[in-house]
Amino acid sequence: MVTTVFANYRRGYERESLMEKPESRMRQVTLGDLKFDNPFTTELSGDQDLSNTRRQVHDAYYSRVFPTPTAAPKTLVVSEEVRLLLGISSGLADSDEFAEVFSGNAVTADMDPHAMCYGGHQFGNWAGQLGDGRAINLGELQGIDSKNYMLQLKGAGPTPYSRSGDGRAVLRSSIREYLCSEAMHYLHVPTTRALSLCNTGDNVVRDMFYDGNLAEEIGAVVCRVAESFIRFGSFEIFSARENIDGLKALLDFTIKHHFPEISDTSPEKYVDFYREVISSTALLMAHWQRVGFVHGVMNTDNMSIHGLTIDYGPYGWVDDFDPDWTPNTTDRHQRRYRFRNQPAVGHWNLAQLANAIYPVVGSVEPLQEALDEYEEIFSRSWSEMIAAKLGLVEYSSSSSQRVITDLFSILETGEIDMTIFFRSLSSITVGSDISIDEISALLKSSYYEPVSKSESHWETLRDWIENYRDVLRGQEIPDDRRKAQMDQVNPKYVLRNYLAQLAIDSAEQGDLSMLYDLQTMLKTPYDDQPQFDKWAVKRPDWAKDRAGCSMLSCSS
């Protein structure tokens, strides 16, 4: 099987899963016992204006700002895996103090709360200063894996970068962020994590679809976790303002703390850094395509230098396979961030990063040479992933290439559920007398409108099945072994938008049971879980056009 592209990320996942549970070593009595480090605010210059007023912030990487207290904070859910990773005891996670701190009502003595300054290209246009408008970084904790992790509260109140917003988040978007960041981790897709989700006890007024229909919604705060929240736009803002000294200082800080394998004395270190970002971004794009995930808002301020999925807003999974689908209402006409376009947008965003760091590099050629590697890295990664999804040991032969190419023609014309179709492929056998028609019937269960398909479509499918089985026969891999391998790269369970919406509907009525069930299901998306088979099905008809189940806005 071709699975090398999963190795690095999966290795980290397995290491975490196999770690000895450190519960017995945890003796924290209060959150004050957790020692936060703050290199970002210690080593880089901050905003000299300490007022929390909306404004342009110059010559600063961040503004110090405290979270806004909330009325009645309550912890709704905690990720046990992230809690253990950060060395937080279960007793502490259940405490009132935990709810106070991770809802934004309190900070510990060695936290240094701040909002980051950055810019970005939004939908292809330079937007100027953006920044953390509703996210406040608390500081870094060292995990039990010896890595440092920044903890960030999303929805913790206004900052100098809030523009016209109130800095708050609502329960529906917070549930979607909490569930999806954890779901992506267990799908082996690089992502930020989520420690906790807290109810604030406050209501927030939102116009969900920007159509004048204001409504009060329940407020919430998610604690996000990542090695850092430095984005492409973090460099763009300094370059756009021609603050080259500031740009260089941020690059040096980033390499020192997050890319220590790059020699600090090398004259090529900035290009080496860029190459690392290109490689991780290309791999991330391939992973998104592998599982059928559409980010929806691939602006440069939403692109992590670590190659992580970041800023979960209007995202979604491809249901009936439509490469031109986007979940973002703001992008409904241009469809810039549609599923098929994500790899190209990744390349475009990397070009903007190159433009941003060029003043420090001082030469176009090495940056262009590095960027030219993107397509090859993505193509190789995606080819290996699609081969693994199909159970192919190689992807370069003419017969394998034909199977892959013809398959996507069938998917695009068939209104086929991508997740169910690929999961079903592992049940195809070559060592038994199962007929082409029987296999066709098996795959037909992934179609949304099978009766509308012409006979020529079914003939094409049968021809494809025959060619596919011929390739599999030539590999001489036992059916059961191939099935086991395919099932580890083709998930059975993903966070479909309608499932998240059902959990939101229940949570808004005070019932968190579906939230908890989805959290459990999404931890093992590649395993059969009979108790959750009711959610391993096609999107129901009622969800096709319902708000929150199809298109979503950038509104919190």
Q: What is the pLDDT of residues 172-218, one digit of tens each?
A: 999 999 999 999 999 999 999 999 999 999 999 987 766 677 889 99
Task: Give the pLDDT of the chain (556 residues) as one tens digit per residue.
Answer: 443 444 443 434 343 443 444 554 444 558 888 999 999 999 999 999 999 999 999 999 999 999 999 999 999 999 999 999 999 999 999 999 999 999 999 999 999 999 999 999 999 999 999 999 999 999 999 999 999 999 999 999 999 999 988 999 999 999 999 999 999 999 999 999 999 999 999 999 987 766 677 889 999 999 999 999 999 999 999 999 999 999 999 999 999 999 999 988 888 999 999 999 999 999 999 999 999 999 999 999 999 999 999 999 999 999 999 999 999 999 989 999 999 999 999 999 999 999 999 999 999 999 999 999 999 999 999 999 999 999 999 999 999 999 999 999 999 999 999 999 999 999 999 987 788 899 999 999 999 999 999 999 999 999 999 999 999 999 999 999 999 999 999 999 999 999 999 999 999 999 999 999 999 999 999 999 999 999 999 999 999 888 888 778 765 4
Helix (H) or strand (E) holding 101: helix 96-103
116 bridge partner residues: 62
Q: What percent of the chain has pLDDT over 90?
A: 87
Q: Give the residue from 67, 166, 169 showing the smallest Cα distance to 114.
A: 67
Q: Give the residue from 496, 549, 548, 495 showing the smallest Cα distance to 206.
A: 548
301 flagged as catalytic:
yes
* Annotated catalytic residue within 112, 132, 301, 417: 301
As a whole number of angstroms, the distance between CA 63 and CA 73 comes to: 25
As a whole number of angstroms, the distance between CA 306 and CA 293 comes to: 18
Q: What is the pLDDT of residues 123-149, one digit of tens each?
A: 999 999 999 999 999 999 999 999 999
Task: State pTM to two decimals.
Answer: 0.94
Helix (H) or strand (E) holding 462: helix 455-475
Q: In 114-140, which positions are buried (b, 16+ CB within 10 angstroms) versus exposed (e)?
A: bbbbbbbbbeeeeeebbbbbbbbbbbb
Model pLDDT, residue 210 = 64
